[in-house]
Chain A
């Protein structure tokens, strides 16, 4: 038996992560009646310190920090490269901003025009998002400085001053200067001063996967604001499918599960904001006579062109100098010098100067069989001289990388689980190798004894899901238009990195937020016209 949810609303948003939260808050501020359906729970903010302890102590798995795993979150990974999906997401109010690193930067102008073997031109350009980027920086609260000579143009200062460079940033600066590599600050969505009712960062050092102080932005704070404006949030309510009108032209209802019952939520406008995996999965689960290959999938592109950022890294020991790692938990310096490179067959590279290289003493202590004086000697010997660099490398959009359904395994509601089919291509491998060359040059310049390397052969994802409901002007090759509305379904909008056409190599959340704010304007317009 299907029960009626909240009486028909103006807007039903599926997902309470950053995109869903910003849309809910913005549309509520515009006077609309909004319901948010969230698959996961609402986490009690007073539990954050206990979750932090879980993140540090070896007896708790990483997944336990945000209660991921089990039948609810079952998935398969069928591609050439294994994809650890549940490490890459959080289900709950706030979504993956609960465990993100909090680094925020704008895509470059080149990203919107990038082309590859599979194509990849966005139907919008940087200028279309420029003012929304600024609004997103205000909403999230970004600490930054206008010292990045490679960044796209901007008109306004950041809402907060940048964090001071770390101790090891100064060490790196010497080598980078010698090698003519320009370094600069990086935007952080964490408070360098008290901002928006949240405290200044106090340096717990565990930003990823949990910030106990609330200084790092997470979207549960935006949901709270939205609720104060009248938005209703239904938690632990996974949407099972979307039902359309008889002709299949509009979504009529979201069918969700809650407390063993099934509910039907009707609305005038529906917005999918559940991330790059669950959005295509829900569309595929919503296949019907009118949409036999999945809702909004006449193009066949739903789930396709899945992209990630790949990690390249290198680190070791710098004898004779204290590097003072693991103090603050986040990065303060990057270099985007190699982002818009013109090297043939090499994609964008974002260089990072890590502040958490090498072991954390408290973690070594709990992993060790030693104790007492012997343990202390080991800790003293192992801590203090590590240095490391990272990099994000963009991935080309390829149709054969996809999120599909695996009917051989079902979740706790009997639905086929998502199947991540992912392969790392040759361009990415070349680009990772190039990033490693740069990293080795810097570390060699400093005289670092390199002890580890993440290169083309052992790279992994950085947990940025992009590209599974790509944006475009052609309904035959894309899922949503420039307004983020599905080509096939008039009242269905998608707000997520799933609409990215190219990945770039910048952490995607600021662009997700900017796109969400832009989509809110279009949905508002549609509601007012109707």
Chain B
């Protein structure tokens, strides 16, 4: 099932971004390092390869459309996401000698698991630990983008998932 530009725009609409685009920018990481739009998009796309079901296609274009506008529209979010991306890439470099996006899907999966992201409490304050921060800004942001989009809804059998303004019509009657 292909993720489309409509899915990305829908997901954007669900987080309040209705306009965007713009040129490359720098978001500050926690250590003062700057992270580019390209690094954020590549890292998030690489994470989505792990997190999204295999039947989903068009992942990287979806993530790019979703993210580039969202990070332009929400500076505070951009800063926190940038910090999470820096932390993920630094860990990937330390443990596996390459940025996250350059690892194989198997190694990316292994890294996320080894960092404790799947088990990180999603309800906890994302600012408290690296694992919670990555859970909130990388892992869960990608899940939110997918499963509040029309394609994500169709994957699980709901045509108007929560967060998507898909109207009031039920396509299947009892």
Chain A residue at minimum C-beta to C-beta distance from B137:
A59
A30 within 8 A of B: no
Chain A 379-399 interface mask (CB, 8 Å, partner B; 1/0) = 110011000000000000000
A324 touches B158 (CB 8 A): yes
A59 touches B126 (CB 8 A): yes
| Given A56-B163, A59-B124, A203-B168, A362:B15 Cβ within 8 A | no
Chain B residue at minimum C-beta to C-beta distance from A362:
B147
List residues 25-47 of chain A with CB under 8 A from any CB of chain B.
Answer: 46-47
A50 touches B15 (CB 8 A): yes
List residues 122-174 of chain B with CB under 8 A from any CB of chain A.
Answer: 122-126, 132, 135-136, 139-140, 143-144, 146-148, 152-153, 155-168, 170, 172-174
List residues 54-69 of chain A with CB under 8 A from any CB of chain B.
Answer: 56-59, 61
A227 within 8 A of B: no
A204 touches B163 (CB 8 A): yes
Which of B55, B74, B161, B172 sits near A361, CB closer than 8 Å? Answer: B161
Size bracket, chain B contacts:
35 or more
Which of B14, B158, B172, B173 sits near A326, CB closer than 8 Å? Answer: B158
B53 within 8 A of A: yes
A residues in contact with B20, CB < 8 Å: none
| Given A59-B136, A167-B170, A322:B157 Cβ within 8 A | yes
In whole angstroms, how far apart are the Cα atoms of A299 and B16 in the complex?
50
| Given A48-B16, A53-B163, A366:B122 Cβ within 8 A | yes
A204 touches B165 (CB 8 A): yes
Which of A46, A49, A170, A376 sits near B13, CB closer than 8 Å? Answer: A49
A residues in contact with B139, CB < 8 Å: 371
Which of B123, B147, B157, B172 sits near A365, CB closer than 8 Å? Answer: B147
A128–chain B nearest beta-carbon distance, Å: 36
Which of A50, A327, A365, A370 sits near B160, CB closer than 8 Å? Answer: A327
A383 touches B16 (CB 8 A): no
Chain B 43-81 interface mask (CB, 8 Å, partner A; 1/0) = 000000011111100000000000000000010000000
List residues 318-337 of chain A with CB under 8 A from any CB of chain B.
Answer: 321-322, 324, 326-329
Chain A residue at minimum C-beta to C-beta distance from B139:
A371
| Given A50-B15, A58-B123, A166-B170, A372:B159 Cβ within 8 A | no
Question: B residues within 8 Å of A by Cβ?
Answer: 13-17, 50-55, 74, 118-119, 122-126, 132, 135-136, 139-140, 143-144, 146-148, 152-153, 155-168, 170, 172-174
- Apart from A57-B136, A369-B118: 18 A-B pairs, beta carbons within 8 A: A48-B16, A50-B15, A52-B16, A52-B163, A53-B14, A56-B144, A57-B140, A59-B124, A167-B173, A202-B166, A202-B167, A213-B165, A327-B170, A362-B162, A367-B122, A371-B139, A372-B50, A379-B155
Question: A residues within 8 Å of B by Cβ?
Answer: 46-50, 52-53, 56-59, 61, 163-164, 166-167, 170-171, 201-206, 212-213, 321-322, 324, 326-329, 360-363, 365-367, 369-373, 375-376, 379-380, 383-384
